Amino acid sequence: MAASHIDAKTIAPGGRPLGLFAINLDRSPDRWAEIERGFGNLPWPVTRVKAVDARKDAQEVLAVRGTALQMPPQALGWNAHRNRLFMLTEEACLAGHVMAWRQFLASDFEHAIILEDDAVPLAGFATVVTDLLGKGFDADVVKLEGIYRAGGRKVLPLGAVGDRRLVRSLRPVSGAAAYLITRKAAQRLLERIGTVLIPADDFLWAPSWHGLKVADVAPFVVMQSGAASVIATGRSAKQAARKPFLRGLSTAVRRGVERVALLWSACEGRPHRLLNPTMAPWVPDDYNLGNRTAVTAEDQRSSNG
């Protein structure tokens, strides 16, 4: 397995292997307290990334990437990936990830785990991360988080990490609440995001946008808490001014290209590997299906996404 193993040639200045960067709004101190409770006692330091707030200062949000409101007061323009408007609240979320990547690259860490402030670690999280750092991994981005979906996913296996599997998923896996990246990945993500109008989670899973190797931990080791979204925008606002045929056709073509690129990256340019995928369980045994708040929030996220 080609690896991003930590050695004398790859350690960033200062030599620290991993830092956690959690994106958090000033008006959500309760969420920061939960991040500290869930991740603060692990072997790796947690740094707060002060999120920009679309409710308070639109210009502060837009200044992060140098974007503009092309369709005031709420929309920056058209999100061709989803065939709907790209909202200021979505830009604020993406801006938080951009700032986290920048903050990581300004640090002396070799790897980072980027967290949204509703991330909750599950049993096995620390062991999986320790294994990834110790053994190395054939990826630039490792997605650690998932939301409930029945059944498993078709994957190409990469190896064992703790009591989980590291895999390349053959289906897009949305969600950006917890993912591990290398310095190379952070640099590439910043280079390629530019002023593209696409949600952070859609951008991350799609190699067609950034050309990076993406892997997933199956079953996932981080879940979203199910707390009500602090950035959500209604579906009707996002879909205003939709032109079903022309924009729908463009979106279908774009999504087709993204899916082909995902498969090509997963098989590393060897299509015959796609003939023998395996099934990987996606939801861990300790996922709490009794948490109806979490399930409801996931359903709302799906309908908004």
Residue-wise pLDDT tens digits, 197-213: 999 999 999 999 999 99
Residue 2 lies in a domain: no
First to last CA, the chain: 35
Domain that holds residue 216: 16-304
Which amino acid would we find at residue 178? A
Residue 38 lies in a domain: yes
Residue 138 lies in a domain: yes
**Cα distance between residue 199 and residue 91, in whole Å:** 7
Give the count of domains, the chain.
1
- Check pLDDT > 60 for residue 252: yes
Residue 8 lies in a domain: no
Q: Which residue has the higher pLDDT, 245 or 63?
A: 63
Residue 53 lies in a domain: yes
Residue 119 lies in a domain: yes
Model pLDDT, residue 295: 35
Residue 9 lies in a domain: no
pLDDT range class, residue 218, cuts 50, 70, 90: very high
pLDDT range class, residue 243, cuts 50, 70, 90: low
In the block, which residue shows the tokens 């690129």? 261
Are 167 and 56 in contact by the 8 Å Cβ rule? The answer is: no
pLDDT more than 70, % of the chain: 82
Kind plus residue range of the DSSP H or E element containing 87: strand 84-87
CB burial of 1-22 (b: ≥16 within 10 Å; e: otherwise) equals eeebebeeebebeeebbbbbbb
Residue 83 lies in a domain: yes
Tens-place pLDDT, residues 91-115:
999 999 999 999 999 999 999 999 9
Region of poorest pLDDT, from 94-98, 173-177, 246-250: 246-250
- Check pLDDT > 60 for residue 289: no
Tell me, what CATH number does 51's domain have? 3.90.550
What six digits make up the tokens of 131? 């294994």
